[in-house]
């Protein structure tokens, strides 16, 4: 699984940190959608929803201020 990373303020650490969230490998899902004649598209849509949001790479807190 791909991770998206950027900078943000962690409220628990009280510092600017690198934060991350899980991402989606869109190339893989496109190939699978083509190979399955569109059936995989439903899975792709569900996987593209960002559950959990951003987290601090140091403490793992989800209390992030962008």
Tens-place pLDDT, residues 12-60: 999 999 999 988 889 999 999 999 999 999 999 988 887 778 999 999 9
Tens-place pLDDT, residues 30-40: 999 999 999 99
In whole angstroms, what is the distance from residue 13 CA to residue 35 CA?
46
Q: For residue 15, give every residue at least 6 positions away whose Cβ sits within 8 Å of its Cβ, in sequence order, or none.
A: 9
In whole angstroms, what is the distance from residue 21 CA to residue 32 CA?
23
Whole-model pTM above 0.75?
Answer: no
């Amino acid at each position: 699984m791909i991770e998206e990373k950027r900078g943000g303020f962690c409220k628990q650490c009280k510092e600017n940190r690198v934060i991350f969230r899980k991402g989606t490998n869109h190339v893989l899902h496109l190939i699978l959608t083509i190979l399955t004649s569109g059936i995989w598209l439903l899975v792709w849509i569900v996987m593209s929803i960002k559950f959990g949001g951003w987290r601090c790479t140091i403490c793992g807190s989800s209390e992030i201020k962008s």
